[in-house]
Homo-oligomer: A and B are copies of this chain.
Amino acid sequence: MAEPARENEGPLSEDDLIARYFRPLAGEGAFGLRDDAARLTPGAGMELVVTVDTLVAGVHFFADDPPGAIGRKALAVNVSDLAAKGATPRGFLLSAALPQDYAPAWLADFADGLKDAAEAFGCPLLGGDTVKTPGPLTLSVSAFGETPSGTMVHRFTARPGDRVVVTGTIGDAALGLLLRTAPGASWTEALGVDGRVFLTDRYLHPRPRLAAIPALRRHASAAMDVSDGLAGDLAKMCGVSRVSAEIDLALVPLSDAAKAAIKADGALLDRALTGGDDYEILAAVPDAGLAPFLDAVDRAGVRASVIGSFVAGDGLPLFRDDGVEKRYASGSYSHF
């Protein structure tokens, strides 16, 4: 828990701000944030996986989202990328461009959320840079993980015949976002309070699928996290792997809340498939490894569903639904 801010004090220097809010998050190799760089040594026989994701207020989250949720999300979306590569989180660097009028109390809550996430994911702060911006709050996290040498799982290595597997449920966050932007839509009445709370939580609190890491390393041909919508991300994986895919829409895993929403408004199915922020894992798993993969993931407490197969070809993935066939031309919800 960061030291509570005193509301009526003057603006903090960058050094004081770092000491107060970010030092409690610092891990081994960060030297208490007293150096201007950190040390990171992979374990024996391990190699590092590095990734970066940037979140801009008003683009990737709402400026008035709970600050703790923003802090957790900034790290979670990066740890989700690591998990999809089969990489165990080791640490992160934070770049925070703060608006001129940021409130110390906001920053305290943000840092608390970030600390919760760092602890939950085993991914401590290694260093960072804090600057002021005349623009919106902009958070960039570079995250580092490690895999036993040669076991990093790539995006571009799906092969024809591999099964298309996805963790968790799809579309919840996209519907949670709709609840936020269009709270009065008629379909929301079909949800009940529990359904609304569930979808909102799925939007605000991505939970990277760390439990799937060992199974991915061992059994997956390829994997990526689903952050820009299942349809678009599957198309990306197919494009870089030079394959296509055929999906049985009836097999795409949906939560009870998403099912209720789609039952009330059929058009929401497309939204669930193309909306962003799932932070589930999309994997290509060869038949030989399918049963052990599903078993390992299940034992780790994560649901995984086979939704189709990768096939030879270079077309967009085909989604079959009760005799109807669809391809999502620009299926990806792009944050860009």
A contacts, CB < 8 Å to B: 13-15, 31, 34-42, 47-56, 58-60, 81-82, 84-85, 87, 93-95, 97, 126-136, 138, 140, 142, 144, 149, 152, 154-156, 224-225, 236, 240, 334-336
B135 touches A56 (CB 8 A): yes
The 3 lowest CB-CB distance pairs between A and B, nearest first, are A135-B135, A14-B336, A142-B142
Could you tell me the distance between the alpha carbons of A287 and B82 in the complex, rounded to whole angstroms? 46
B residues in contact with A35, CB < 8 Å = 85, 154-156, 240
Closest to A80 in B: B36
- With known contacts A140-B95, A334-B13, A127–B52 Cβ distance under 8 A: yes
A50 touches B38 (CB 8 A): yes
What's the nearest-Cβ distance from chain B to residue A284, in Å?
13
Could you tell me the distance between the alpha carbons of A41 and B144 in the complex, rounded to whole angstroms? 12
B residues in contact with A154, CB < 8 Å = 31, 35
Closest to A15 in B: B236
CB < 8 Å: which of B15, B40, B138, B335 contacts A135? B138
B37 touches A87 (CB 8 A): yes
Could you tell me the distance between the alpha carbons of A224 and B34 in the complex, rounded to whole angstroms? 11
Could you tell me the distance between the alpha carbons of A240 and B49 in the complex, rounded to whole angstroms? 31
- With known contacts A134-B135, A336-B130, A37–B140 Cβ distance under 8 A: no
Q: How many copies does the complex hold?
A: 2
What's the nearest-Cβ distance from chain B to residue A88, in Å?
13
A50 touches B126 (CB 8 A): yes
B36 touches A40 (CB 8 A): no
B residues in contact with A40, CB < 8 Å = 47-50
B residues in contact with A42, CB < 8 Å = 41-42, 48
What's the nearest-Cβ distance from chain B to residue A327, in Å?
17
B residues in contact with A225, CB < 8 Å = 36
B336 touches A13 (CB 8 A): yes
Could you tell me the distance between the alpha carbons of A59 and B154 in the complex, rounded to whole angstroms? 38
What's the nearest-Cβ distance from chain B to residue A287, in Å?
24
CB < 8 Å: which of B53, B131, B152, B224 contacts A54? B131
B48 touches A131 (CB 8 A): no
> Apart from A39-B47, A59-B131, A129-B140, what are 14 other A-B pairs with CB-CB below 8 Å?
A13-B336, A35-B154, A37-B152, A40-B50, A41-B42, A41-B47, A50-B126, A52-B93, A56-B134, A60-B131, A132-B336, A133-B138, A135-B138, A140-B140
Closest to A143 in B: B37
B residues in contact with A236, CB < 8 Å = 15
Q: Which of A50, A85, A138 has the most C-beta atoms of chain B within 10 angstroms of its own C-beta? A: A50
- With known contacts A154-B31, A225-B36, A131–B49 Cβ distance under 8 A: no
CB < 8 Å: which of B41, B51, B58, B85 contacts A134? B58
B residues in contact with A138, CB < 8 Å = 97, 133, 135, 138
Could you tell me the distance between the alpha carbons of A127 and B51 in the complex, rounded to whole angstroms? 7
What's the nearest-Cβ distance from chain B to residue A30, in Å?
10
Q: Which of A126, A133, A156 has the most C-beta atoms of chain B within 10 angstroms of its own C-beta? A: A133
Could you tell me the distance between the alpha carbons of A185 and B196 in the complex, rounded to whole angstroms? 63
B residues in contact with A133, CB < 8 Å = 56, 59, 135-136, 138
